[in-house]
Structure 1
Amino acid sequence: MKGERIAVVLASLGPGGAERIMVRLAGLLERQGFAVDIVVPAPQSDAMKAGVPEGVSLVELDGGHYFESLRLFHRIFKTKNILMLPWAFVVFFWKLFVSTRSLTHYIGRRRPDLLLTAHYNAMTLAANFLAGKPSRVVVTEHTLLSEHLRRQVAPVRVCFSTMCRLFYPKADRVVGVSSAVAADLTAHFRVPADRVGHIYNPVVGSALKRKAEEACVHPWLADKTIPALISVARLSPEKDFDTLLEAFSLLRRAMSVRLLVLGDGPDRGRLERRAMDLKIDADIDWMGMVANPLPFVRDADALVLSTFYEGLPTVLIEALYVGTTPVATDAPGGIREILEDGRYGYIVPMQDAPALSEGMLKALCQPMPKGMLQERAEAFSEKQAVDAYLNLLGMIGVARDA
């Protein structure tokens, strides 16, 4: 029997956590005997294409991504430029329409047996409906959606909240990456409880092992006389680096310590200036995007994640895998699930710089047993995730190659 076709629909092949996880899942499903397409709304760079697994087809649509027009709308809305706002509103919704139309044409032409989607969830469900519903749809939600939408400007929040409440219940199955994400979908987006569940992301596998074995060259990590903390996150408001910088400033009063920040984003310039104001900039290395952060996490003395909400933060799982003690804020989402209420890492209140500083001090002075952390990471293995997805696909009638 020939394996059925799965289309994995993504916003891009970019460096985001959800995108990387879904590309990895596409490769794992292809190895199970499915024909797999990765579908993106616009042409991708050669560097991004290089990450597509062998045997998986890449389909680049011509509708374009609405994200840039969304960011433009955000900026103009916040400046209250009433002359530009109608134009930005029209551009955003036109781009949204064109993206949906392009995906509708793909579904109608290719007629995949299953649409497995992340980030383009409501749009994919809408496109499948417009194409005559030829495909079954499994939505995967990688963030705490109610918290994410709550932080959008009002017109965007209303638009996407309405789309999610209208279309999510029409999916064959909705999968949250943690039980907290799944519960959020039932509570806020009308998804029937019998159609939603959670499957942990496929993080731990052979690819992660290879990444963890790569060499790391950084003078601060080679110098064991001064401990080094590491943070790996997008430099954007929801990651609350302001509290992290204040906490680090407090920690430096108690001991000599350094901080490596891996990641980039719209807040970088402001955060660098804040570090200078706090007179801690000499002990922070803003490294920007790094192709493989794992060796840096491995060689650091502790990892810190200060955030307002998370779906299932991959960086915490990766820290467990390499045996680095994590410190994280008690944010809504999957943090408590990963760390099992503090058994496998230090959990501190959100937006509490003294508490975060104390948590980082404990992680440096009382690191958790490396073997215990690594054992916990196996709960997020590729095998467990693939087995769970295969079971789900069998339940909705999608068969692999026999």
Structure 2
Amino acid sequence: MSTIDSTHAPGMPTTTVSTSDQQRPIALMLGSFFGRGVCRVRLNLCAALITRGYKVDLLVVSGEGEMRDDVPKGVRVIDLQASRALKAIPKIAKYIRREQPIAIISAEDHLNVATLIARKLSRRAPPISVSSHVLHHIDAGKPFWTKRYWTRFALRLIYPWATSRIAVSSGMADTMAEVTGLQRNNIDTVFNAIVTEDINKRAQEACPHPWLEDQEHPVVLGV
């Protein structure tokens, strides 16, 4: 497990936090630094927490990926150096015992399950918020030897351990309730934290793509 202090920073206004909160970190969980929406949302959240005076640790299952250089200044990156989330459980548990974070924020179902198991093994009780960004509808009728069956089983068994459960849309929350068996009112909807000043600046830039410069043919953009 390796630790790296980032040297990159966006500028945002700061607020004051208590001395006790400054001494213990908020831990964010991430699978890798490869360019995906979850990674971008996590980095934006890290920046927002840092500018508000919190100490932030970013635990990454594998520290590979092209977005590693985008980590905000002041965020401590802890590379768990594991090939998959389940293999990182012992290191996550050790981190929780050693650092005693104020809270843990995790995303993606496989990583959420691993983090919740690690907290149980650590015998510590920091609050954990888990979120689902893409939750596939898992058919309960699948044979018990399939990955989907055991994924659904794990979510139903372990998600109740979380302090809070977050979906990135109302429809996502409905699906999470159906898949996990949780009551719908036990799931909160929090939209992705992606609107930053950098996005506003990039929106004003030119987009010199030949498809967009050609005024004769319509372009369909799917997001």
TM-score range normalised by the length of the shorter chain: 0.7 to 0.9
Residues 182-221 of structure 1 correspond to what in structure 2 (within 5 A)? 182-221=173-212
Kept in 1, the 8 Å contact 2:106–2:129? The answer is yes
One-letter amino acid matched to 2:27: A
Q: Tell me the distance in 2 between the aligned counterparts of 1:43 and 1:188.
A: 30
Aligned positions of 1:348-367 closer than 5 A: none
Counterpart secondary structure, 1:208:
helix
Q: Contact between 1:39 and 1:59, CA under 8 Å: does it hold in 2?
A: yes
- Aligned: 1:100 with 2:119: no
**2:152 corresponding residue in structure 1:** 161
Question: Greater Rg, structure 1 or structure 2?
Answer: 1
SS at match of 2:216: coil
Tell me, yes or no, if structure 1 residue 142 matches structure 2 residue 142: no
> In the alignment, which residue of structure 2 is the partner of 1:22?
42
Q: Report SS of the residue matched to 1:228.
A: coil
Within 1, Cα distance between the matches of 2:173 and 2:54? 26
Conserved in 1, the CA contact under 8 Å of 2:89 and 2:115?
Answer: yes
TM-score (norm 1): 0.46
Letter in 2 for 1:60: D
**One-letter amino acid of the structure 2 residue matched with residue 104 of structure 1:** A
Equivalent position to 1:39, from 56, 59, 68: 59
**Where does residue 327 of structure 1 map in the other structure?**
none
AA aligned to 2:202 is K
Equivalences for 1:1-400 in 2 at 5 Å? 1-2=18-19, 3=21, 4-45=24-65, 47-65=66-84, 96=86, 98-119=87-108, 120-143=111-134, 145-147=135-137, 149-150=138-139, 155-229=146-220, 303-304=221-222, 315=223
Alpha-carbon separation, structure 1, partners of 2:199 and 2:78: 26
Counterpart amino acid of residue 171 in structure 2: A
| Distance across 1 between alignment mates of 2:127 and 2:69 | 29
Matched-pair contact (CA < 8 Å) for 2:58–2:76: yes
Q: Which runs of 4+ in 1 moved over 3 A?
A: 192-195
More helix by share: 1
Q: Which runs of 5+ in 2 are unaligned?
A: 1-17
1:205-247 Cα shifts (integer Å, max 9, x gaps): 2121122223322222112122222xxxxxxxxxxxxxxxxxx
Q: CA deviation at 1:104?
A: 1.6
- Alignment partner of 1:133: what SS? coil
Aligned to 1:140, what secondary structure does the other structure show?
strand
Mapped to 2, the partners of 1:14 and 1:39 lie a distance apart of 14
Q: CA 1:146 to 1:226, structure 2 compared with 1: closer, same or farther past 3 Å?
A: closer
The question of whether the paired residues in 1 share the 8 Å contact of 2:33 and 2:63 is answered with: no
Change (3 A) 1:160 1:133: farther
Q: Is the 8 A contact 1:63 1:102 kept in 2?
A: no
Provide the rounded CA distance (Å) in 1 between the counterparts of 2:182 and 2:211: 48
**When the two structures are superposed, what TM-score results if normalisation uses the length of structure 2?**
0.80
Runs of 5+ consecutive residues of structure 1 not aligned to the other structure: 67-95, 230-302, 305-314, 316-402
Give yes or no for contact 1:169–1:192 (8 Å, CA) kept in 2.
no
Deviation at 1:124, TM superposition (A): 0.6
- The percentage of counterpart residues that share the same residue type is 28
1:133-158: CA deviation from partner (whole Å, max 9, x where unpaired): 33110011112x252x44x9952112
The Cα of 1:192 is off from its aligned counterpart by 4.1
| Higher relative contact order (Cα pairs below 8 Å, separated by 6+ residues) | 2
Which amino acid is 1:166 matched to? L
How far apart, in 2, do the equivalents of 1:31 and 1:170 lie?
Answer: 30
Contact (CA 8 Å) 1:113, 1:134: kept in 2 or not? no
**Partners of 1:103 and 1:124 within 8 A in 2:** yes
CA contact under 8 A between 1:62 and 1:102: conserved in structure 2?
A: no
Question: Which amino acid counterpart does residue 57 of structure 1 have in structure 2?
Answer: R
